[in-house]
Amino acid sequence: MDRIIIEGGNTQLKGEVVIEGAKNAVLPLLAAAILPTEGQTLLKNVPILSDVFTMNNVVRGLNVAVDFDEERNQILVDATGDILDVAPYEYVSQMRASIVVLGPILARNGHAKVSMPGGCTIGSRPIDLHLKGLEAMGAKIQQTGGDITATADRLKGANIYMDFPSVGATQNLMMAATLADGTTIIENAAREPEIVDLANLLNKMGARVIGAGTETLTIIGVDKMHGTDHSVVQDRIEAGTFMVAAAMTNGNVLVKNAVWEHNRPLISKLREMGVQVTEEERGIRVISDVTKLRPVTVKTMPHPGFPTDMQAQFTALMAVVKGESTMIETVFENRFQHLEEMRRMGLTSEILRDTAMIHGGEQLQGAQVMSTDLRASAALILTGMVADGKTTVGKLNHLDRGYYQFHEKLTKLGATISRVNGE
């Protein structure tokens, strides 16, 4: 099992870091590439991540040609032939996001079979909203033996109100509705930048999606779609992770390509804490003096609220700020597992249901810790940079799902980090 070893205690990050394309954007974009029956789809600015390879395999398993040019960070998808309607269990079971192929397959073939997906263990994350929306559009759904089977000669436009603004459900239903007969209106839709990115791609393909980035999405069904070129939006979570890394290490870092508007909730909390955050022509600069930072209260919310995918990293920042900070997690249950590992490093914290109290400012000590999910792995590495002595972080399969060359980028900024291969 690979491990990352951090020599911490005096880390001060300085310099520039380049942000990749967004993992949470490219996965549904790959699913959308199933829809066109004419022409090829070229996705640019694609991050080289294990989740991307997994999604490529899911799409390939549908008899779709997928060519990943890693040197150019591009994926060429050709779905112009007949596609299969059964997504391969071998790959779907590895990744939660793979459920988003359900809508596109159903819309194109009239029948789809997808296994219940896998992924990080940070809550139940039920797919009820996906299925209810498809049923509202006329699909017949069956769940047997861990598989979901959906059937519809052609989906019908419908008015769908979502009980929660689920990103995955919004993406699935939006893609399904592109080829439906009539107009679909999705209310209480997710508003994340990745939703807007998907809508932009779909519209380039000939779809008619209106209102992306607002609470109400309108999709006017079309008869067919065509391939196009599209550049994946920058990864706001990777950007946020490096912004937090700079803040907790007395850093001065330019996060290149980061989009200010996409990171506004995080920027607001960093500034409230006392971190200097400014927008520059090439990205976002973060300058910090930890001794002057103040404790804050943060509540995760769907976009445009504070992103749950930044919760673990921000608790690492809270750990170095003197005083009691509070983190309230409203999106996923079971997402404070990383705090148990941070306690091994000397962090004092209490958890009461959806709320964690972080008693920050005490010097942390290096320890052997294990990643519990994708974002927790990043949080533990950041914590290791400020802890005295050596920290070893295991279970890097989580990290590789969402960060490209994470330890190399931190090393270039001044951290002392190495990755060790081994059993």
In this prediction the pTM is: 0.95
Q: Is 72 among the residues known to form the active site?
A: no
Binding-site annotation, residues for phosphoenolpyruvate = 23-24
Last residue of a domain, one of 166, 198, 231: 231
pLDDT at 121: 42
Whether residue 267 is found in the same domain as residue 171: no
Domain count, the chain: 2
Q: Which residues span the domain enclosing 174?
A: 23-231
Q: Can you tell me which residue has the tokens 């706001």? A: 236
Binding-site annotation, residues for UDP-N-acetyl-alpha-D-glucosamine = 96, 125-129, 309, 331
pLDDT at 119: 45
pLDDT at 351: 95
Binding-site annotation, residues = 23-24, 96, 125-129, 309, 331
pLDDT at 124: 47
Question: What CATH number does the domain containing 141 carry?
Answer: 3.65.10.10
Whether residue 268 is found in the same domain as residue 206: no
**Which residue is catalytic, options 46, 120, 196, 258?**
120
Consecutive 10-residue runs of the chain (423 residues): their mean pLDDT?
92 98 97 98 98 96 98 98 93 85 98 76 66 97 90 97 96 99 98 99 99 99 99 98 99 98 98 99 98 98 97 98 97 88 97 96 97 93 98 92 96 97 71
Last residue of a domain, one of 231, 256, 289: 231
80: its two tokens: 């112009």
Whether residue 191 is found in the same domain as residue 247: no
pLDDT at 372: 86
Q: What angle do CA 372, 376, 377 make, to 5 degrees?
A: 85
